[in-house]
Amino acid sequence: MQKISEFVVGLLFGMGLLLSGMADPAKVLGFLDLFGSWDPSLALVMGGAILVGFFAFTLAKKRTTSFLGGALHLPQANQIDRRLVIGSLLFGAGWGLAGFCPGPALVSLFAGQPKAAVFVVAMVAGMILFELADRYIHQPRARQVGAP
């Protein structure tokens, strides 16, 4: 049951990205071009997603297990630190350069787009770079990676 649910959620999420326009980098850049000819569509994507998500997370916070009986893995981190801000700055810069964030890049890769495949390879390389830096530079520190 868990496996089916995970698969269906992945399927829904991928289709949501395709329907919303998030998987079209030119549209994403049209949204990020606040000072040019601005396409506000993606504000509606976020608004719609958060509208539904808000009720779900409000309900989830009151529970100790998921409805399928498993553990609830809600993020515990709450500190706003340099890692969070610098990481988000780097991510936003990359997002603005090509118009891809991780989800849409994966969906476009699965749709057979060669440029998306190159993007995902570079993105995974960036993630590996992070794992190496985290292991060799930040090692003494407790790891707080994984959940947002």
Q: How far is the CB of 63 from another protein (least distance, A)?
A: 8
Binding test (CB under 8 A) with another protein, winner from 62, 121, 141, 142: 121
Length of the chain measured in residues: 148
Q: How far apart are CA 142 and CA 80, in angstroms?
A: 15
Per DSSP, what are the bridge partners of residue 65? 71
Angle at 86 between CA 40 and CA 98, to 5 degrees: 45
Q: How far is the CB of 5 from another protein (least distance, A)?
A: 5
Over the window 41 to 80, marking each residue x when it contacts another protein by CB under 8 A and - when it does not, the resulting string is: xx-xxxxxxxxxxxxxxxxxx---xxxx-xxxxxx-xxxx
Residues 6+ apart with CB under 8 A from 30: 37, 38, 39, 41
| Residue 136 contacts another protein per CB under 8 A | no
Q: How far apart are CA 94 and CA 89, in angstroms?
A: 9
Q: Three-state DSSP class for 67?
A: coil
The two three-digit tokens of residue 132, written as one number = 């190496």
| Residue 137 contacts another protein per CB under 8 A | no
Nearest to 117 by CA among 130, 129, 100, 133: 100
| Residue 130 contacts another protein per CB under 8 A | yes
Based on CB atoms, which residue is closest to another protein, 85 or 136? 85
Considering only residues 2 through 31, tell me which ones interact with another protein, judged by CB under 8 A: 2-3, 5-27, 29-30
Q: How far is the CB of 90 from another protein (least distance, A)?
A: 3
Q: How far is the CB of 82 from another protein (least distance, A)?
A: 10
Binding test (CB under 8 A) with another protein, winner from 103, 139, 140, 141: 103
| Residue 34 contacts another protein per CB under 8 A | yes
The two three-digit tokens of residue 147, written as one number = 């959940």
